[in-house]
Amino acid sequence: MENQKSLQLEKVTYDDKIVKAFVLAMLTFAGVAFLAGLLAALQLAYWPFNMNLEWITFGRLRPLHTNAAIFAFAGNAVFAGVYYSTQRLCKTRLFNDTLSWLHFWGWQAIILSAAITLPLGYSQGKEYAELEWPIDIAIAVIWVVFAVNFFGTLAKRKEKHIYVAIWFYIATILTVAMLHIVNSIEYPVSFMKSYPVWAGIQDALVQWWYGHNAVAFFLTTPFLGLMYYFIPKAVNRPVYSYRLSIVHFWALIFLYIWAGPHHLLNTAMPDWAQTLGMVFSVMLWAPSWGGMINGLLTLRGVWHLIRTEPIVKFLVTAVTFYGMSTFEGPLLSIKSVNNLGHYTDWIIGHVHGGALGWNGFMAFGMAYYLIPKLWRTELHSKSLANTHFWVALLGILLYYISMWASGITQGLMWRAIDVQGNLVYPDFVETVMKIVPLYWIRALGGLLFLIGFLIMIYNVIKTIQGAPANQYDTEVQVPVAVGHDTHPEKGHRKLEGLVTVFSVLSLIAVLVGSVIEIYPTLNLSKYVKEENAVEPYTPLELAGRDIYIAEGCYVCHSQMIRQLPGDVLRYGKASTIEESMYDHPFQWGSKRTGPDLARTGKKYPDLWHYRHMIDPRAVTPKSIMPNYPWLADKSTDFVGLRKKVAVMKALGVPYDDNTLAQADVMAEKQAKEIAEGLKAQGVTQDGLERKQVVALIAYLQSLGQKGKNKGVKDDKAVASSL
């Protein structure tokens, strides 16, 4: 009976065309991401590279770079790998060709939308979630298309068992959907403008729950799935320990989701949430390294392949970088280490170790494996692939090491206090000048990485040119019931055969941490002391805030004075939860290329800000900030302010009826007062009161000036008491 069963064969044609399309899209957008990254690195080393062009100024280019790297390069790599491996592991063609192509073109359209809107300044001001609401909806729709196509493929699979790689894909699809939807709940103001429903600390927690887990479930779990598939394929050995892969999977997805608050250590966030984030981040060491060890030990007995096979070189080095990044991440999550590293280039180095080393090399290794197979030819040149490897590796090392040095240097300088209790380096720009040479080294590292990639592109073009003209999809004959035997399945074997149950359990694993982390903070009144409540922004300040967000000021300036002596001495009293309670979105930031701005209001006169925006070096000679001359040319949208205020009120900001009805009139009045002040100090410009620079000045002057903390600048005693 069993023999008869195994003789029943069925022809299966895998859809290789869609995989080819995603591979080519991955390579195309990799070029865009790397080029944007290199230009951004050069802008930080030498500010004139901003070229006085608003569309490519650092604040707008950096979101373009991160979105291109994450969603275009890594995203297309994931889709290529998932579609290739899932068909083969399930021994069936993808569920639906139309869905496959809808997924492909839909995703490329989203990327194109991002490439157009981000340089134009359409941004929500939330890292890795900058895209505006119509694009957010498109992402959700296309992700559902992907999910239906993927789960449909699992449903019609001819292999009973679900291999571990597919578990990681399942966790990715479910969790990314949850993260994206919750973090993108926003209230549209107009076609390309919205405000998130979350505010202040809520928004901070939701954003970093999303942001951290975008790294976890978009850049880690799917790539771990690819690791569990492509390393065994490349070395022709099964994974070292299947048992370890099970423990790795469940421990990793359960723990990862809790770690978001480590992005907010020493801030105004409640201590319990900080400690929770730190503890779970440290615990992540174990499953992460379990996965790394499992990947590396798959090479048992064939280590020599690292010498001879460029694919293996890339894959193994990628896993090594995964190990380094997942060691460094928990290390940076320890509060005392975070004191030093947070807001510095150490974080940038850490991120790029993961993005270039882990994601980049894994994608390159996969592409070198897939391209000859898909185009049914041999790789044009192994030696060029080897050259790519060494050039890119050197590039990453230069990048990584320079950013470590830069981050630790800046962290130490920021907190250096002399015996009298004064800051040793009170001028922020002093700490910037110290690290500019390291920015040049970083740019060199990026250039080498890009050169390596261009070598790969040449190699790929030659490989495809040498492919036979007759291209066809892979066709195999498989038994109708491969893996199905007459014995009832038990335990995890049974569980993994039940896709729905498995998916629900995975979702529960990520939901538990999410709910515990976020739900209590939704009850904001528990943390906000009424006596510390602040008043909302005036309509003009709100308009200025939108300009601040559109220009991407948050990518270089934080608005969160940490509870650390160095921060308090430099910037004033530590920020409180109440001060950002009406901030939709929060702007605490994650990097200080420039100083913190939480209490910058009234620190300088309006004229200083005006001159600073037009030419930062006019007031801070060695500043690396770009010029923003267009702010003095472009007009503020006064007409749209009533709608904006109405939306803010609907979100819970206590604007009175008069402000609601007179928002534009009030804004124009305040703008006129500021403009007259500037004119009295010598600024000669017609219609100044209608220009964006005035609205931005109004916003900057309001920072730290709301509520009872108005104008507070602490002395040394406050700092030393921390």
Are the CB atoms for 59 and 627 separated by under 8 Å? no
> Which residue lies nearer to another protein by CB, 275 or 465?
275
Report the nearest approach of another protein to the CB of residue 279 (Å): 7
DSSP 660: H
Helices (H) and strands (E) in the chain, counts: 28, 4
Does 242 bind another protein (CB under 8 A)? Our answer is yes
Among 279, 306, 665, 683, binds another protein (CB under 8 A): 279
Question: Cα(first)–Cα(last) distance of the chain, in Å?
Answer: 77
> Of 363, 655, 373, nearest to 538 (Cα)?
655
Q: Is 494 strand, coil or helix?
A: helix
The first and second tokens of residue 173, run together, are 């699809």
Contact residues for 397 (Cβ-Cβ < 8 A; gap 6+): 445
Pairing verdict, β 9-13 and 475-479:
antiparallel
Region near another protein per CB under 8 A, out of 143-151, 243-251, 332-340, 418-426: 243-251
Among 31, 134, 188, 520, binds another protein (CB under 8 A): 520
> Which residue lies nearer to another protein by CB, 165 or 577?
165
Half-sphere exposure (CA, 13 Å, Cβ side) for 396? 26
Amino acid at 401: I
Each residue of 517-533: b (16+ CB within 10 Å) or e? bbeebeebeebbeeeee
Distance CA 151, CA 420 (A): 65
Among 36, 41, 276, 438, binds another protein (CB under 8 A): 276
Report the nearest approach of another protein to the CB of residue 601 (Å): 32
**Residue 656 phi/psi, 5° resolution?**
-85, 170
Report the nearest approach of another protein to the CB of residue 332 (Å): 20
Does 476 bind another protein (CB under 8 A)? Our answer is yes
Distance CA 197, CA 134 (A): 16
Among 168, 229, 414, 449, binds another protein (CB under 8 A): 229
The first and second tokens of residue 669, run together, are 């009045």
Report the nearest approach of another protein to the CB of residue 523 (Å): 4
Among 93, 233, 484, 690, binds another protein (CB under 8 A): 233
Region near another protein per CB under 8 A, out of 510-518, 564-572, 611-619, 705-713: 510-518
Report the nearest approach of another protein to the CB of residue 493 (Å): 5
Binding string, residues 525-564; x marks residues near another protein by CB under 8 A: xx--------------------------------------
Half-sphere exposure (CA, 13 Å, Cβ side) for 87? 24
**How many binding residues for another protein (CB under 8 A)?**
56
Distance CA 270, CA 680 (A): 46
Q: Is 10 strand, coil or helix?
A: strand
> Which residue lies nearer to another protein by CB, 217 or 537?
217
Amino acid at 428: F
The full DSSP string for 59-121 is: HHHHHHHHHIIIIIIIHHHHHHHHHHHHHHHHTS--S-HHHHHHHHHHHHHHHHHHHHHTTTT
Among 174, 251, 340, 367, binds another protein (CB under 8 A): 251
CB atoms within 10 A of CB 671: 24
Are the CB atoms for 264 and 274 separated by under 8 Å? yes
Report the nearest approach of another protein to the CB of residue 666 (Å): 34
Report the nearest approach of another protein to the CB of residue 269 (Å): 12
> Which residue lies nearer to another protein by CB, 33 or 234?
234
Distance CA 659, CA 665 (A): 9
Are the CB atoms for 74 and 25 separated by under 8 Å? no
**Residue 15 phi/psi, 5° resolution?**
-85, 95
Each residue of 549-561: b (16+ CB within 10 Å) or e? bbbbbbbbbbbbb
Distance CA 671, CA 714 (A): 30
> Which residue lies nearer to another protein by CB, 95 or 280?
280
Region near another protein per CB under 8 A, out of 61-69, 277-285, 405-413, 448-456: 277-285
Region near another protein per CB under 8 A, out of 113-121, 207-215, 246-254, 699-707: 246-254
Region near another protein per CB under 8 A, out of 57-65, 167-175, 508-516, 631-639: 508-516
> Which residue lies nearer to another protein by CB, 275 or 422?
275
Does 250 bind another protein (CB under 8 A)? Our answer is yes
Contact residues for 242 (Cβ-Cβ < 8 A; gap 6+): 164
Among 513, 595, 601, 616, binds another protein (CB under 8 A): 513
Residues numbered 147-166 forming contacts with another protein, rule: CB under 8 A:
159, 161, 163-165
Does 7 bind another protein (CB under 8 A)? Our answer is yes
Report the nearest approach of another protein to the CB of residue 251 (Å): 6
> Which residue lies nearer to another protein by CB, 100 or 521?
521
Binding string, residues 477-506; x marks residues near another protein by CB under 8 A: xxx--x--------xxx-------------
Among 47, 79, 150, 254, binds another protein (CB under 8 A): 254
Binding string, residues 399-428; x marks residues near another protein by CB under 8 A: ------------------------------
Report the nearest approach of another protein to the CB of residue 231 (Å): 9
Binding string, residues 189-228; x marks residues near another protein by CB under 8 A: ---------------------------------------x
The residue written with tokens 């000859």 in the block is 372
Q: What is the 3-state secondary structure (H, E, C) of 245-289?
A: HHHHHHHHHHHHCCCHHHHHCCCCCCHHHHHHHHHHHHHCHHHHH
| Count of positions (residues) in the chain | 722
Region near another protein per CB under 8 A, out of 83-91, 167-175, 412-420, 451-459: 83-91
The first and second tokens of residue 283, run together, are 């615990």
Does 509 bind another protein (CB under 8 A)? Our answer is yes
Binding string, residues 8-37; x marks residues near another protein by CB under 8 A: -x-x--------------------------
Q: For residue 585, is the peptide bond before it cis, meaning its omega torsion is within 30 degrees of 0? A: yes
Are the CB atoms for 273 and 209 separated by under 8 Å? no
> Which residue lies nearer to another protein by CB, 51 or 511?
511
Among 137, 454, 501, 516, binds another protein (CB under 8 A): 516
Amino acid at 374: L
Report the nearest approach of another protein to the CB of residue 556 (Å): 33
Does 272 bind another protein (CB under 8 A)? Our answer is yes
Among 43, 67, 76, 85, binds another protein (CB under 8 A): 85
Q: How far is CA 288 from CA 152, 352, 443, in A?
A: 30, 18, 30
Residues numbered 324-383 forming contacts with another protein, rule: CB under 8 A:
none
> Which residue lies nearer to another protein by CB, 37 or 291?
291
Among 88, 93, 382, 484, binds another protein (CB under 8 A): 88
Distance CA 200, CA 183 (A): 13
Binding string, residues 280-319; x marks residues near another protein by CB under 8 A: x--x------------------------------------
Half-sphere exposure (CA, 13 Å, Cβ side) for 214? 23
Report the nearest approach of another protein to the CB of residue 291 (Å): 14
**Interface positions with another protein (CB under 8 A):** 7, 9, 11, 85, 88-89, 91, 159, 161, 163-165, 228-229, 232-233, 236-239, 242-243, 246-247, 250-251, 254-255, 258, 270, 272-273, 275-276, 279-280, 283, 474, 476-479, 482, 491-493, 509, 512-513, 516, 519-520, 522-523, 525-526
